[in-house]
Amino acid sequence: MSGENSIREARQPSWRLFEADWYLLRYPEAREWMAREGIDDVEVFYKQYGQRYGHSPNRYFDEVWYLEFYPDVRRAVIEGSYESGFAHYCAGGYVHNSGHWLFDELEYRRRYHELTQRALEEQGFSNGYDHFLEVGAERNYVGHRFFNSDLCRELALRFPEYFDVRLSLFASWLVLPAEVADAGRVSWYFDPVWYLNHYPAVQKEIDDGRYGNALHHYMTNDRARQFDPLEFFSEEEYAQLYPDLKAALEQGVFRNGYDHFVRFGANEGRSPGKNLGMDSYMSRPQVRRDLRNKLFDTPFTHYVAGRVTPDSQAALAGVAEIDEVQAKIVFEREAEAQLPMLVRRRLDFTYSGLPEISVIMVLYNKIALTMQALASLRANYAGAIQVIIVDSGSHDQSRQLLQFVRGVKLLRFRYNIGYLEGCNAGLEEVEAPFVLYLNNDIRLAPDALKLSLKRIRSEANIGAVGAKIIRTNMHLQEAGSVVWRDGSTYGYKRDADPNLPEANFIRDVDYCSAAFIVVRSSLLRRLSGYDPRFRPAYFEDADLCVRIIKAGFRIVYDPTIVIEHLEFGSSGASGSLTLMQANLKAFARAHTDFLRNQHPPHLRNAVHARERRGEEKRILFVEDRLPLRRLGSGYVRSNDVVREMAALGYHVTVFPMLPREQSVLDVFGDFPETVELLPDLHVADFAQFIQERTGYYDLLWVGRTHNMVRLLPVLNEMSRYLPSGGAVLDTEVIATPRTLGRLEVLDLEPAEQSFDEMLQEELDVAHFCQRIVTVTESDAGLVRRAGYENVSVLGHEMKPKPTPASFEERKDILFLGALHDPGSPNHDSLEWFVEEVLPHLDDVLPSDVKFTIAGFISQSVDMSPFALHPRVDIVGAVHDLEPLFNRHRIFVAPTRFAGGLPFKVQEAASLGIPMVVTSLLASQVGWDNGKQVLHAGINDAKSFADAIVRLYQDRELWGQLRNEALTAIREDCSPAKFRRDLDQIIQACIV
């Protein structure tokens, strides 16, 4: 270990090293000057003369720019405090300042918040620039928005002789001759070719040696507002479009309009010019997907990339559609390509005892498709499968099937008896408790059979289970199916994206296609299988499902069960359509009693018709955004409310007010499988949405008062479309005490209104609601104070899960909280803690005791001030909290203004980590100092620090607080009580 430390101490950052060869190339006049002064050593010359004349010591540091960009440093050099800007940078300026115009130290720290000063030093780096030059550039880290490694790599492929393979692309680019550097862009934010064509005078300044290349000129010239960086941005038009920026530009807050646009405007939806609107461009699905996947950092760079490289991933046309005809050909050819291998290894379906499921497959020729389907079935499930194959008069190699497959039951007919009779013949051979009707033109997604069995076994009244069926062009064939009043059918969301949220929640349906459907064997026998009147095929599956429903059983669509289907692959489209038309009439005649209660055939009725409605009630749940648990800040509780609603049997749709891009993994992994999520909608869509779903919901649940404020005008106008149960306002927090507390804590101007006036104004929208919900009895009292008696309390739910590590096995101090906005309660608490509390620990706790900041961090929050503190580690969002809490000794919650109920305090207690909190939070949870927690005043940094030291060092106190807090969680946060309270609130509204 000591050897490793000595190596770290010996290593110097690249930006600190003197480059003699580069220096002589950059300043050729130095050779004559050195000879005149009798100096042989180039570095000695630089130190004695060069640095005083504005010379840079290496390619990584720009002396002239540094002195211009940091005028305070320039003054210090003039006053003689430092020999040069570089001397200032080496003496400590490197911690906060940037050494080069193409690297942004603070932005690098903001972008990679895990690079705290402590983490950098532990890895042997002096600052972010040192990290970037040593490892970041090679890992494609972004050191500046105007340098993109991928684009530079394209330039290197064009001019390989100018790029040193021993160095990073960044290091090589810095020394390129102008004609090479200006031959192609290294950023989507700047176009050197356009720039030089548009401003020909710049070329002369480059030729005269004033600037190294076009980008150097743009980034460092002293007339920044007179130059546009590329054809898609206009300084003049941007200033005209946004006069609110005038003062900031004149005061030098931003170098020019483009500086503001790049840093803020591009993500705010501002337009770079009069003829280019970013809002409409951002609404394109492909653009949103690419931004979500971090292919581009802003919609603007996505747009530029699409214009410059139309065949790139950002092409304006978006993702090309897959031609279904070609996709079907590929599907069949893949089956043919696998055939020799499958024949050689011979599939084995042998089993002993009773099988778990019987699979009935009817085939007519198509040996390659059959073998592919069977191989997919065998690979999908290792359990005992009885495979019953009905050969309906095949005349290709299907007749030799038993040579290629072991352990199957083969029923061979000399003529084509048709699908229906083939299935009924197969049913007579069934031995298992469940039957899978399976086409021979399908492929199963992983665990399809396992998930089917799990679903049908889960409840005794489930008669059949169907799958999400995707066609070969990767569009939906169906996500469950609808039977209309006239007997016709509709595959829900046909042609849509299979990942569409509306297609990805479990529900009861009218029927599911028999391309893949699992049915109880006993039920099938009772119903005598398929009805012969629908032979040879089509509408036999719809008829069977209707008869299953009439028998008192459910048809369940489960989107976790996925199959790919070569539609019409087993029979041919023209013949299939003819058969469908013929059997539609027979189906309608057979089920007039059932059909009269179905919805009329129209796509606007699809939402109502997509699921069979029983006694279950439907709730429309509105929140700021989809309440993912990792977001914290009340979203965990909202997620719990949704989960418990689903557990109570309510059908829930979650509608987000704010437009947010969220990945499929985030969305579907954090909610119950029966919940419908609508991540692509937001408040602007609400009026149309509620109108389209008139009569669909029984209750509207609105999370957070400000959302009710935004919705109230729409709700008043659209009241005739609203649920009969009315609306519930879940306040999450009464904000008035928090607002006034913030003014007091930060010593801001007092509010013009009184407490009661603010409270009345905050809760004015509550008059619309049947029920108002708060998280604490204290908040409920404030609601009553405002004049509303229809209030209920719904706190938090959690189970104690104490982490097992002992006092001695733990180390360090933990903070966990979401940071959504600068100035938020959590952000303020961290500023106060790092600036005021941590210094009191320096002389008491060892320097290796770290302060860990965990939790969601918005891009709008600058973490660099915290990252610079030597005790701080930043880990960001953590999905599995147990390891994090298990290794920390104590938890801190230094919140100085807040309302409601502090979830993070109860969560920490449930995980068995004792804590120090402010007296404000202790009063909100109702816990006593020295019993469940230690607490100190909201502005008493010394007492807060003393409590930390006491708890960190006192093993007995640590154990006592841990046990008492766990007891409090069991009493205050019982999941059973939470569910009971929630159901009572809902039942009070839904009559």
CA proximity to 936, closest of 848, 850, 829: 829
User: Measured between alpha carbons, how far is 834 from 618 in angstroms, rounded to an integer?
Assistant: 47
Please answer whether residues 216 and 185 qualify as being in contact, where contact means their C-beta atoms are separated by less than 8 angstroms.
no
pLDDT digits (tens, 9 = 90+) for 863-910: 988 998 999 999 988 888 999 999 999 999 999 998 888 899 999 999
User: Measured between alpha carbons, how far is 655 from 369 in angstroms, rounded to an integer?
Assistant: 42
Tell me which fold the domain 325-610 belongs to.
Spore Coat Polysaccharide Biosynthesis Protein SpsA; Chain A (3.90.550)
Would you place residue 578 in the very low, low, confident or very high pLDDT band (cuts 50, 70, 90)?
confident
User: Measured between alpha carbons, how far is 401 from 890 in angstroms, rounded to an integer?
Assistant: 67
Percent of the chain with pLDDT over 70: 96
pLDDT digits (tens, 9 = 90+) for 699-739: 999 999 999 999 999 999 988 888 888 899 999 999 999 89
- Mean predicted confidence (pLDDT) in 497-516: 94
- Mean predicted confidence (pLDDT) in 478-503: 94
Q: SS3 of 499, please? A: coil
**pLDDT reported for residue 60:** 98
Tell me which fold the domain 615-797+975-990 belongs to.
Rossmann fold (3.40.50)
Percent of the chain with pLDDT over 90: 80
pLDDT at position 860 over 90: no
Average pLDDT, the chain: 92
Would you place residue 309 in the very low, low, confident or very high pLDDT band (cuts 50, 70, 90)?
low
CA atoms within 13 A on the CB side of 531: 18
CA proximity to 622, closest of 574, 686, 571: 686
- Mean predicted confidence (pLDDT) in 168-194: 96
Please answer whether residues 189 and 145 qualify as being in contact, where contact means their C-beta atoms are separated by less than 8 angstroms.
yes
**pLDDT reported for residue 571:** 54
User: Measured between alpha carbons, how far is 830 from 826 in angstroms, rounded to an integer?
Assistant: 6
pLDDT digits (tens, 9 = 90+) for 644-667: 999 999 999 999 998 776 666 677
pLDDT at position 83 over 90: yes
The domain spans of the chain are 325-610, 615-797+975-990, 807-973
pLDDT at position 6 over 50: no
pLDDT at position 623 over 60: yes
**pLDDT reported for residue 5:** 39
At position 965, the amino acid (one-letter code) is A
**Of 232 and 748, which is predicted with more confidence?**
232
- Poorest-confidence range of 214-218, 367-371, 564-568? 564-568
Q: How far is CA 130 from the centre of its chain?
A: 31
- Mean predicted confidence (pLDDT) in 674-688: 92
Give the tokens for residue 785: 């104070």
Output the CA torsion sign for 585, 591, 596, 601: negative
- Mean predicted confidence (pLDDT) in 37-66: 95
Whether 615-797+975-990 and 807-973 share one fold: the answer is: yes
**pLDDT reported for residue 576:** 65
Give the tokens for residue 310: 């139309």
Residues in the chain: 991
**pLDDT reported for residue 439:** 96
- Mean predicted confidence (pLDDT) in 514-528: 97
Give the tokens for residue 452: 């089917």
**Domain 807-973 CATH assignment equals 3.90.550.10:** no
User: Measured between alpha carbons, how far is 348 from 405 in angstroms, rounded to an integer?
Assistant: 6
